[in-house]
Chains A and B, each alone.
Chain A
Amino acid sequence: MKVRILISFKESVLDPQGQTVKNALHTLGYHFIKDVRQGKVFEIELDGLSKSEVQKVIPEIADKVLANPIIEKFSWQILKEEEKVR
């Protein structure tokens, strides 16, 4: 099974990298872009776990290692077969 975990800054945290990307996009004429938040993506392959075990273990490792809960939040999903191939 493969899961994708998205880590991003909490709304209360300023994201200067996202702001810089937004400013660059405005310079290129994409004035309709209201906001940009930059984050991290992890794709993790797991072996031998049931779905309910995965649902327990992913938030655990996201909280303990992948994200710093003081400044970041995370979301995650199990990837479908066709997404894996791409």
Chain B
Amino acid sequence: MKFGVVIFPGSNCDYDTFFVLKDVLRQETVFLWHKDHNLNNVDCVILPGGFSYGDYLRSGAIAKFSPLMQEVGEFAARGGLVFGICNGFQVLLELGLLPGAMLRNKNLKFLCEFVHLRVENVKTRFTHKARPGQILRIPIAHFDGNYFTTPELADELEANNQIVLRYVDEKGEATEEANVNGSVANIAGLINKAGNVMGMMPHPERASEALLGSRDGLVIFNSLIERF
């Protein structure tokens, strides 16, 4: 499995993600520069966390016009695996590869803390190594993670099993309190209909070594590495 981690100006989780894939999980991994037009034959493109273009205009709004994103769009259309983490998720929303948009967190605070997530769909290329309903402890670090969509589209996402991760409490309940940023339907991670593009606000790369307090993020990367 060959991974490509995209670097935008302002990405800041690019090296963490690269380290987990290359050094922790021993996968062939390359960086992809946002101004290039070459995906370097990778099997999976990762849009990392950070503040691409300083979050100017809207989070992810300028990155969507980066030259490489044209290739990423075509790659996704051909069924290529694309995974957006935090700012990468915001970029996927702006690109329209995933539905909806992000608003500022409901309490207007930058949230940097561990949260609990419930895996709602384990029949995906990104989560098949998880148990149904497994609770993951993974940190978030964002200002704009308040997922918004219309009630009609939220119902559709639910019906299509596109809601992959939800914010829950320690017991696994999707409560209002556990929904730290105010997202519609406690949505923390989404997949497209075709099942090859996923975005999530929490940072699995920050929960991939025991030293960092959790290894729960590995379930996602290992799902990507091992095929169904």
Q: Which residues of A contact B (CB under 8 A)?
A: 12-14, 16-17, 20, 65-66, 68, 70-71
Choose one: A12, A17, A20, A68; the contact of B150 (CB below 8 Å).
A12
Choose one: B57, B103, B149; the contact of A66 (CB below 8 Å).
B57
* Complex alpha-carbon distance, A17 and B150, angstroms: 20
Interface string of B131-154 (1 = CB under 8 A from A): 000000000000000001110000
Considering only residues 36-58 of chain B, those with a C-beta below 8 Å from chain A are 57-58
Choose one: B103, B106, B107, B108; the contact of A71 (CB below 8 Å).
B103
Query: In angstroms, how far is the closest chain A Cβ from the Cβ of B168?
Result: 22
Instruction: Write 5 A-B pairs (CB below 8 A) sorted by A numbering.
Output: A14-B103, A65-B61, A65-B65, A70-B149, A71-B148
Q: Is the interface of A mostly helix, strand, loop or mixed?
A: loop
Whether A20 contacts B108 by the Cβ 8 Å rule is yes
Q: Report, as a range, how many residues of chain B touch the other chain.
A: 10 to 19
Given contacts A66-B57, A71-B148, contact A16 B106 (CB under 8 A): yes
* Complex alpha-carbon distance, A75 and B57, angstroms: 17
Whether B104 contacts A71 by the Cβ 8 Å rule is no
* Complex alpha-carbon distance, A70 and B60, angstroms: 14
Interface string of B160-204 (1 = CB under 8 A from A): 000000000000000000000010000000000000000000000
